[in-house]
Amino acid sequence: MSPNDPVRAPMTLAQFEDLALRHGPDLDDWPAAARPGALALLEASAEARAVQAGAAALWRALDALAAEAEAPSPGLSARILAAAEAQAGAAPPEAARPPRPPAAEARRGRAGARRLLGAARRALTGAAGAGAAMAASLMLGAWLGYAALPAGANMAALSTAFPAAAGLETDAGADLLSQPLFAEIDAELEQDAR
């Protein structure tokens, strides 16, 4: 089956939702290859129509926010670009790019916000969501493991892990704080306090 073959697998609701969030509710803005499958799914599925309505509401809200937002000043744009290039190790440009016309800037901002929102949604439903679940399960496991110990064992575990918290004297903290890095930080903090 070639890519130009009209017989293709039907579009899934997940694919439709992804395209609706990326390209908006208007099918004319979608890639041409995806339009026939999207039209067929819209005709057959009330859920797809609900996704399209939700995407339309989201894009209207983004358009309203973009219309209210003020365009950054050319000086601010130049400072941001210079800081980014300095951070990357490159020399700052001699002159900043000329500012874009307001209409082009607004279009670019809306499209960028939409792409960012779609990327954030995909990230949170993917690896980041799994990472958050894993971190929560690790914390729950540590808490359950600590709570299951008898009362005396809790203090013993604490004194082993954190001697100062258990009231035991230790030189480890004093040795750590005497390091040159911490002395420099203390000196800077004292100067800031003055």
Q: How is residue 173 written in tokens? A: 């903290």
Q: What is the mean pLDDT of each run of 10 residues along the chain (194 residues)?
A: 54 90 88 92 92 88 78 79 74 53 54 65 62 71 64 54 51 52 67 74
Q: How far apart are CA 104 and CA 107, in angstroms?
A: 5
pLDDT of the residue at 38: 92
pLDDT of the residue at 116: 64
pLDDT of the residue at 70: 74
pLDDT of the residue at 6: 45
pTM (two decimals): 0.36
- Indicate if the alpha-carbon torsion angle 102, 108, 114, 120 is positive or negative: negative
pLDDT of the residue at 59: 84
pLDDT of the residue at 42: 92
pLDDT of the residue at 74: 79
- Asked if 67 and 39 touch (Cβ cutoff 8 Å), the reply is no
Domain boundaries, the chain: 1-68
pLDDT of the residue at 87: 74
